Amino acid sequence: MLLKALARHPGHVKSRGQLLDEGYPDGTIVSDRTIDSHIKRLRKKFSAVDSGFKSVESIYGLGYRYIVDSTYTGDDSGRRLEGDIDG
């Protein structure tokens, strides 16, 4: 869900609070540092497939943003990452 929330508006910064609202719409109470952990796991999973993956940026004091890499020429085989729970 986090990647989808970030990718929905590439280049726009999403705060931890905004990502918490999108990731936990039922009001589940979690620490905002939970987002940091999820982002770290996303980066690790993507880096395992593409060591040059740098599309999720941390913006100090603001949050995170997704940057589209127009030079990516990987296959679109529909491969899913292990542990992907979104869809």
In a domain, 78, yes or no: no
In a domain, 36, yes or no: yes
In a domain, 43, yes or no: yes
Which pair of structure tokens corresponds to residue 30? 């979690």
pTM of the model: 0.69
> What does the DSSP 8-state code read for residue 42?
H
Question: What's the domain count of the chain?
Answer: 1
Q: Is the pLDDT of residue 25 over 50?
A: yes
Residue 44: which domain range?
Answer: 2-66
In a domain, 86, yes or no: no
In a domain, 75, yes or no: no
What CATH number should be reported for the domain holding residue 23?
1.10.10.10
In a domain, 45, yes or no: yes
Q: Is the pLDDT of residue 18 over 80?
A: yes
In a domain, 85, yes or no: no
> What does the DSSP 8-state code read for residue 77?
S
**Residues contacting residue 11 through CB under 8 Å, at least 6 positions apart:** 65, 66, 67, 68
Angle at alpha carbon of residue 86, lines to 33 and 74, rounded to 5°: 100
- At 46-64, the pLDDT tens digits run 889 888 888 899 999 999 9
